[in-house]
């Protein structure tokens, strides 16, 4: 499956960016069939209406109940950068603004320092893509997100600074399914 025209325009715009955050050579991206959101069998004990992220598999599962879930391929952070545990979706945003965290700037000032003031939603260098689900634990923002990306070729890799990234069209599908208060389990 080829990306939509909108996705290709966003990906092309992202290639203009400098630095490792979003820079990549221009390319036509064909999405492999096994990267498409797919309804699959899962453990029947999983409650419906939850998100389960499996770090070792680079997969996210939206549970439907009765032993079924929709599987998405994701990009995650390098070892030691991922959120782990249970959280809730306490906020959702379309074309979200982005500001790197203080830790991101401290650990990689050359990459994130220029963006310390943040980027508006829809900006070509904004790594959050078209949608974001904000993860909270005990009422506090974890600073981790499930979000889109203008870099679909990063799926299945340890690429992000710790957030869960999906192809923009895939995060839009998930976003429409997930209500506020949804439980997210990352392991």
Asked if pLDDT for residue 31 goes beyond 90, the answer is: no
Residue pLDDT, tens place only, 49-58: 999 999 999 9
Residue 27's pLDDT band (cuts 50, 70, 90): low
Q: Residue 24, SS3?
A: coil
**Where in the chain are the domains?**
33-186
The Cα 80–Cα 83 span in angstroms is 9
Q: Which of 52, 123, 163, 170 is catalytic?
A: 163
Residue 26's pLDDT band (cuts 50, 70, 90): low
**Can you tell me the mean pLDDT for 143-166?**
92
**Can you tell me the mean pLDDT for 3-31?**
47
The Cα 73–Cα 62 span in angstroms is 12
Residue carrying the six token digits 């379309």: 94
Let me know: does 48 contact 64? Beta carbons within 8 Å.
Answer: yes
Among candidates 172, 94, 104, which has minimal Cα distance to 144?
Answer: 104
Q: What pLDDT shows up at residue 81?
A: 87
Superfamily for 33-186? L,D-transpeptidase catalytic domain-like (2.40.440.10)
Q: What pLDDT shows up at residue 28?
A: 72
The Cα 159–Cα 145 span in angstroms is 14
**Can you tell me the mean pLDDT for 100-111?**
92
State both tokens at 1.
């499956």
**Can you tell me the mean pLDDT for 43-71?**
97
Q: How many CA atoms lie within 13 A of 115 on its CB side?
A: 26
The Cα 13–Cα 144 span in angstroms is 25
Judge whether 52 counts as a catalytic residue. no
Q: Which of 52, 66, 107, 147 is catalytic?
A: 147
State both tokens at 137.
């634990």
Residue pLDDT, tens place only, 70-89: 999 999 998 888 999 999 99
């Amino acid at each position: 499956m080829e990306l939509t025209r909108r996705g290709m325009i966003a990906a092309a715009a992202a290639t203009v960016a400098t630095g490792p955050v979003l820079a990549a050579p221009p390319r036509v991206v064909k999405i492999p069939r096994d990267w498409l959101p797919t309804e699959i069998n899962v453990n029947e004990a999983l409650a419906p209406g939850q998100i389960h992220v499996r770090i070792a598999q680079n997969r996210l599962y939206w549970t439907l109940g009765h032993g079924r879930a929709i599987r998405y391929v994701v990009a995650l952070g390098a070892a030691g950068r991922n959120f782990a545990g249970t959280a809730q979706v306490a906020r959702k945003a379309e074309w979200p603004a982005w500001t790197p965290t203080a830790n991101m700037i401290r650990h990689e000032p050359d990459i994130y320092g220029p963006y310390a003031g943040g980027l508006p939603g829809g900006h070509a260098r904004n790594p959050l893509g078209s949608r974001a689900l904000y993860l909270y634990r005990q009422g506090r923002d974890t600073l981790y997100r499930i979000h889109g990306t203008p870099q679909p070729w990063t799926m299945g890799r340890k690429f992000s600074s710790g957030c869960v990234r999906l192809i923009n069209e895939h995060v839009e599908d998930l976003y429409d399914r997930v209500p506020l208060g949804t439980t997210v389990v990352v392991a």
